[in-house]
Structure 1
Amino acid sequence: MHTFTSLVAVALFARVQGLSVAVDRTEQLTSRDIANLGAVSFADRTAPVSLPNCKVFPGDAAWPDDSEWAQLNKTLGGALLKPLPPASVCYRTSPNFNAEACSFLLNNASRTTFYFDDPLSILTQWPQGNTCLLSRNPTGNCTQGGFPEYVVNATTVKHVQAAVNFARNKNIRLVIKNTGHDFVGRNTGAGSLSIWTHYLKGFEFLPNYKQPGGNYRGAAARVGAGLQIWEAFAHADRHNVTLVAGSCLTVGAYGGWVTGGGHSPLSSKFGLGVDQVLSMQVVTADGRYVTVDAQTNRDLFFAMRGGGGSTFGVLISAIVKAHPQINLTIASFDFTLGSTRSPSPGPSVTITDTETFWKGFNEVFAFGIPTVDAGGYLWTNGIPNGAGSYSMQVQVQLPGFTPTSAATFVQPLLTTLNNLGIPVALSTPPTTRVYSRATGSTGGSPGNGYFASRLFPRPAYEDPTLFAAAMRAARATVEAGYTFHGLNMAPTLEVAGFPEPAGANPVWRTAVMHADVFARVNMGSLTPAEAVAEQRRLNEFMQPLRAATPGGGAYFNEADVNEPEWQRSFFGENYNELVRVKRSRDPWGVFWAPTTPGSEAWAVQDGSELPTQNGRLCRVA
């Protein structure tokens, strides 16, 4: 089997040389492959299904022996990996101990692409079980914990088909991982086989595309599931078009981001990520490679556009809308409650009156409605600084605006704040750039935070009583030590061009804000009891926000895995239909991830009240 080090070295060399690794759609699993290894044979959806109580686990008699894994690796052409956790190089008890490699992880890895290019790393660690945390002087042993046992470095359709079939036929838990950007452990799992889609990097510009069975005709692009946003933007800029994608440029845009919904600074202009998808190329639970669009496999086209990643199939590539190139102009300022008042107006000021600060906080959020109605995106952070000090960071992001028109647009908010006694003023002029020219491919390392989220529907936001209650609840979270991160957007069906029905939560179509509430804790430093207590405390502060936003929900991709009544909160009225598609398409339970449609039928036996992926996956009685 290829070693992790040599594999990443080759991939990084390709990146440095500016090479693009295309998705090989022609190399698929053949009858000859199946004759050589029957464990990769396709399934028959019409045949009766008898599900075992649990997925097979390392150490079980049914777990494949080394020769079977070697046979799979041969079928995969050497793409099967058996990596150890990266931090294992820091543990003297590990066979992987390497002081030089440990020093690199501690001092330099976060300034490189190391963690995105690692087959195991996930950027939120607690769902794995915290069994091998990076430390200068680690104690105890590093164990695999919730990390997969084996990883398929998928660069062809055949790789994905063989992995899906082998996992299904051998009753092994299967997980899907792209770049590791996941908050609740949907891309990891103990005793599992992982399909690593990170290197499905293909791109093809389609200047005149007609959507099969749909109403879109125009420029589009075929994009590989592993394209990170910075890579997609580089392609888009070369063709003078805009591809809608998230703000974090290292995310794999066409994996979990789009299958979970996908918001962006252009959501009020062009809709959600799911609204950009015109066609998908997918490996389903029976191992077949299929096209999914408004005309073919329509049930999957509905479900995989917002119904949850790692649930219905493995996304290989997609065809997405390519909009005309557009500028993004950002007007920024912030104000802080502190002990010394700023002597003059500016983009960053300090005031000393507590109630003035919170009145300004409310006025900023009230400006969310005119911002989204203008096609914009209001980005805010309410931050506790300690000792009674708080900061409010504000970015009014305006697609298609010039610096002058952006300054004019924001002036009413500045005037309101100035009249309150908050002397903020814009830098001149506001910054502007072509949206798809955002760059930044490196940086980032695993963290261990915890948070919850809430979608605010417009009716609740515009009702004075409910809005006041929501702002009181938001203030309470910040005063309690949480960061309140607001993203005002309005991805209505109208701005999305009335696309085909999608599985994304219908609340998105009336939403005017998605808000995250971040706990400022390190879940890796807490005992299990302390971690559960932290989750419960956060939930208590979320309850007033939920009460003030009736008919709201939470964003599937950014949420508390213990969200109350998550089925309705994440998927709304679409949930029952999504479960129906799940049961029809995957009667074997090949794909499973926390809080996805139908996932209640299975549970990880980890013995923890705060669910991790460090345990055997079994059916629920």
Structure 2
Amino acid sequence: MRARPTAFSCKCLPSDDCWPDSSAWQALNASIDGQLVASKPPAWPCHEPEYNALQCLEVTQKWSDAFWRAAQPGAMQDSFFEMDGNEGCLLSGNKTSSCYQGRVSVFAVNVSSASHVQRAVEFAATYNLRVTVKNTGHDYLGRSNAAGSLSIWTHHLKDISFVEEFVPEGCNSSAARSGVTIGAGVVWEELYRAADAHGKAIAGAQCSSVGAAGGYPQAAGHSPLSPKYGLSADNVLQYKVVTADGKLVVANACQNKDLFWALRGGGGGTFGVVVSVTHATHPALKSLQFASYVVGANTSESFELVVTEFVKSNPGLSQDGWGGFFLIAKRALIVQYLLPDKNSSFAQSSFDPFLSEARGIAGVSVNGAMQSFSSYLKWHEAVQCSKSGCSFATGSSELLVSRLIPSSTFSDDPEELAQTLVGIWDEGYDRVMGYLTAGGEVSVARDNAVNPAWREALWHIIVVKLFPANETQAAKKSLARAITKTGGRLRRVAPSSGCYLNEADVNEPDWQQAFFGDKYDKLKLIKEAVDPQGLFVCKKCVGSEDWSEDLTCRSKKKCRA
């Protein structure tokens, strides 16, 4: 057997003498019922010597399908994070072009039970391996994979169980409330359908291919229904999680309280591997109003006035209970807002002041309508789904930057906020979009690790830049610097706020403050308590500042040649 590394040394990588030999991997595979798989980039069958015409056709047809990508152990939703510098496996190359492993994990444990997670964690700790955790790969900091790592792939933990009076383990019956316990592989598409069938509503992701137990609730998790129900983290009643010592523990308000606190806002892939979560459920919606409008302008000046009026209208819309999404395109504002449990006349009267102001601006057109739905699922099926499915297109290479915009900004200087958003679009970005997913119940302070900036916010703004998959490393670095600079414009608008860490700049300055606010010091202490050897390390995660830039050595200085 090869020599095992000592604690606190650099992580053991495939090129090191300490890397487990074939007999060690075989023993791991036997201990997890043969569930160890060799991870490959999704375009692997499109390149020689592994070229397979039928498999390559499937890859090509499904490349942008988020649900297909989630079902591939080596695929990320943002294909940029499958690349390691200039090395990757491109779909755009011909079959004789090079195909590299890139950042894709070497092996993945295809988990079907908590014991599989435990054996994987024990194995990784024994050999000091880099560990990553993936369900769907919806991550924009690249935390779901890493070059030379062992991936714990939770995608097939699909149990869903509704309980009308769920009592967290170790708590008394007074804590009982309606809930649903799900395995770590469940995605929101599955949970929305199950909740609707059980006559329940739940706060979940707008993109239904996102996982419902992993990084989404662990980092906060915003929803179009968050103004009514709070963030996803606010609705978690209990976690079951495998910690770095290989133990399966229960974390709730009555036991492992610090861990429970950290898992609700402190970020995924950091404190352990969640195998199940229990979310609070709510009575079915009585109705759901949908405002869908496109407001266009024929000049830059008139469009800026439109966006300014929209900014001014949102505090009132928030007070009325609206939540949703908007997109700033070339001289067009696309709005898709939802209003739960209010009638159509109230919804129209609530939205009309903005529409009237917009129509009063010279050169502006307003198109759209108000629609009513009986449930969130009915809206989702009508608006977000098609004959080809309910998937948002993914698989592109993109970088983004974001900012939570406090409610005070809307009254202090709405013109500056509007000018900034329009100005950023004019810089040539592919998407400038916002979410009214704060305010309401989100503004209620909770005893969890959610970034305090959420409690003061009204909007979550995201700016996206797309680039070719075969872009050079130098060009990608240049784009990254440019988008971080653009983030400075958002920081100037909201200097005391922060960011939603699941949708943020990979190079966000002062990220501890931006992602966690004054919760960071407590999170760092909990991290050191539950993972003293640093088994779980990921980009811009709690404690990652103690590691090298490539997160392989426990030092601020790289110790690899």
TM-score normalized by structure 2? 0.91
**TM-aligned CA distance change 1:64 to 1:442, over 3 Å:** farther
Is 1:403 the counterpart of 2:344? The answer is yes
Partner of 2:189: 230
How much does 1:562 deviate? 0.2
Partner of 2:356: 415
Partner of 1:566: 511
1:142-291 equivalences in 2 (<5 Å)? 142-211=99-168, 212=171, 217-291=176-250
How much does 1:213 deviate? 7.1
Partner of 2:404: 455
Q: Is the 8 A contact 2:546 2:555 kept in 1?
A: yes
Q: Is the 8 A contact 2:179 2:281 kept in 1?
A: yes
Structure 1 CA distance, aligned partners of 2:236 and 2:15? 42
The one of 520, 535, 539 aligned to 1:594? 539
SS of 2:345's equivalent? Answer: helix
Letter in 1 for 2:397: N
How much does 1:493 deviate? 5.6
Letter in 1 for 2:79: Q
Structure 2 CA distance, aligned partners of 1:527 and 1:553? 31
Q: Is the 8 A contact 1:213 1:295 kept in 2?
A: no
How much does 1:141 deviate? 1.4
Is 1:328 the counterpart of 2:288? The answer is yes
- The number of residues matched between the two structures is 541
How much does 1:84 deviate? 2.2
How much does 1:272 deviate? 0.3
Gaps spanning 5+ residues in structure 1: where?
1-36, 40-48, 337-350, 385-389, 606-612
Structure 2 CA distance, aligned partners of 1:100 and 1:456? 48
SS of 1:449's equivalent? Answer: strand
Structure 1 CA distance, aligned partners of 2:62 and 2:268? 31
How much does 1:540 deviate? 2.0
Deviations 1:286-313 (A, max 9, x none): 1100110011001101101010100001
Structure 2 CA distance, aligned partners of 1:421 and 1:379? 25
Structure 2 CA distance, aligned partners of 1:105 and 1:90? 8
Gaps spanning 5+ residues in structure 2: where?
none
Letter in 2 for 1:521: F
Structure 2 CA distance, aligned partners of 1:67 and 1:50? 21
Q: Is the 8 A contact 1:404 1:429 kept in 2?
A: no
Structure 1 CA distance, aligned partners of 2:352 and 2:173? 41
How much does 1:495 deviate? 6.7
Letter in 2 for 1:98: N
The one of 427, 448, 469 aligned to 1:480? 427
Partner of 1:128: 82
Partner of 2:311: 365
**TM-aligned CA distance change 1:494 to 1:558, over 3 Å:** closer
Structure 1 CA distance, aligned partners of 2:303 and 2:137? 37
**TM-aligned CA distance change 1:422 to 1:287, over 3 Å:** farther
Partner of 2:476: 531
Letter in 1 for 2:398: G
The one of 388, 392, 395 aligned to 1:446? 395
Deviations 1:404-432 (A, max 9, x none): 32222111111111111365556454242
How much does 1:228 deviate? 0.6
Is 1:317 the counterpart of 2:264? The answer is no
How much does 1:599 deviate? 0.6
Segment drifting more, 202-211 vs 141-150: 202-211
Structure 2 CA distance, aligned partners of 1:619 and 1:354? 50
TM-score normalized by structure 1? 0.83
Structure 2 CA distance, aligned partners of 1:332 and 1:422? 20
Is 1:374 the counterpart of 2:374? The answer is no
Partner of 1:295: 254
Structure 1 CA distance, aligned partners of 2:475 and 2:364? 42
Structure 2 CA distance, aligned partners of 1:182 and 1:213? 37
Structure 2 CA distance, aligned partners of 1:128 and 1:228? 21
Partner of 1:583: 528
Deviations 1:376-414 (A, max 9, x none): 114211123xxxxx3211122211123332222111111
Letter in 2 for 1:320: H
Partner of 2:40: 84
Structure 1 CA distance, aligned partners of 2:441 and 2:295? 35
The one of 353, 364, 376 aligned to 2:299? 353
Q: Is the 8 A contact 2:227 2:323 kept in 1?
A: yes
SS of 1:603's equivalent? Answer: coil
Partner of 2:461: 515
SS of 1:245's equivalent? Answer: coil
Structure 2 CA distance, aligned partners of 1:460 and 1:131? 43
Identity over aligned pairs, percent: 33
Structure 1 CA distance, aligned partners of 2:38 and 2:450? 35
How much does 1:442 deviate? 5.2
How much does 1:445 deviate? 4.1
Q: Is the 8 A contact 1:402 1:432 kept in 2?
A: no
Segment drifting more, 473-482 vs 67-76: 473-482
Structure 2 CA distance, aligned partners of 1:122 and 1:111? 11
SS of 1:57's equivalent? Answer: coil
Structure 2 CA distance, aligned partners of 1:68 and 1:548? 54
Structure 1 CA distance, aligned partners of 2:30 and 2:439? 46
Structure 1 CA distance, aligned partners of 2:322 and 2:290? 10
Partner of 2:23: 67
Deviations 1:517-537 (A, max 9, x none): 112433x23211211111111
Cα root mean square deviation, aligned: 2.4
How much does 1:111 deviate? 5.2
Deviations 1:318-350 (A, max 9, x none): 1111101113321111123xxxxxxxxxxxxxx
Structure 2 CA distance, aligned partners of 1:112 and 1:318? 22
Partner of 1:346: none
How much does 1:257 deviate? 0.5
Q: Is the 8 A contact 1:460 1:550 kept in 2?
A: no
Q: Is the 8 A contact 1:378 1:488 kept in 2?
A: yes
Letter in 2 for 1:490: A
Structure 2 CA distance, aligned partners of 1:469 and 1:234? 41
Q: Is the 8 A contact 1:492 1:509 kept in 2?
A: no
Q: Is the 8 A contact 1:363 1:417 kept in 2?
A: yes
The one of 478, 486, 496 aligned to 1:541? 486
**TM-aligned CA distance change 1:493 to 1:435, over 3 Å:** closer
Structure 1 CA distance, aligned partners of 2:82 and 2:255? 37
Deviations 1:204-255 (A, max 9, x none): 1111124537975421111111111010011101110012101001111111
